[in-house]
Amino acid sequence: MTVNKSQGQLLTHVCVDLRSNAFTHGQLYVALSQVTSLTGLMILTSVEQPAATDNIVFPEVLL
């Protein structure tokens, strides 16, 4: 399920793939906030940067 489709739903199991950057600003927050407990959350990261991701901000949107 995509992050957009998960909005407004509470899910018992969520897997967030951070091996590539989030598509839009706030998408990571939405993905993480849909899970009902930490035991149901899985986060996939890359070996190169296991604890980091970029916050994508498009300057033209901030105008």
In which element (H, E) is residue 17 found?
strand 14-17
The per-residue pLDDT for 50 is: 64
Domain containing residue 17? 3-47
Q: Is the pLDDT of residue 1 over 80?
A: no
Q: Which residue's entry shows tokens 């998960």?
A: 6
Tell me whether residue 57 is in a domain.
Answer: no
Neighbouring C-beta atoms of residue 62, cutoff 10 Å = 7
Within a domain: residue 11? yes
24 domain-assigned: yes
Q: What is the per-residue pLDDT for 60?
A: 76
The answer to whether position 61 is within a domain reads: no
Q: Using CA atoms, how far apart are residues 26 and 10, in angstroms rounded to an integer?
A: 17
Asked if residue 56 is part of any domain, the answer here is no
Q: How many CA atoms lie within 13 A of 42 on its CB side?
A: 6
Give the whole-angstrom CA distance, residue 21 versus residue 53. 6
pLDDT computed for residue 39 by the predictor: 93
**25 domain residue, yes or no:** yes
Residue 32 inside a domain? The answer is: yes
User: Tens digits of per-residue pLDDT, 4-53?
Assistant: 677 777 888 888 888 877 666 677 888 888 888 999 999 888 777 666 66
The total domain count for the chain is: 1
pTM of the full structure = 0.63
User: Looking at per-residue confidence, does 42 or 56 come out higher?
Assistant: 42
